[in-house]
Amino acid sequence: MKLYRLLTEEDTAAFCHKVTDALNKGWALYGDPAYAPDPETGKMRCAQAVIKEAPGDYHPDVKLGAQ
């Protein structure tokens, strides 16, 4: 099955660590990162899509972060 996740975080080192952790667990970058202000907090947020091939069939109960 193909898995997709959109990782988001405030523009801090935590975002880079989140993406790095996913890459080290076999996820691959998908597309360009995005960077935009959060209107509620006034802080900048980052987003990066990642994909991964995994065995089995998809169902909505799949815990994507645990893959």
Report the predicted TM-score, pTM, of the whole model to 2 decimal places. Answer: 0.86
Collapsing DSSP to helix, strand or coil, 26 comes out as: coil
Mean pLDDT of 28-45: 96
Query: Which spans in the chain are helix H?
Result: 13-24
At residue 50, the pLDDT reads 98
Domain positions in the chain are 2-57
Residues listed for the chain: 67
Position with higher pLDDT, 44 vs 67: 44
Asked whether residue 51 carries a pLDDT value surpassing 90, the answer given is yes
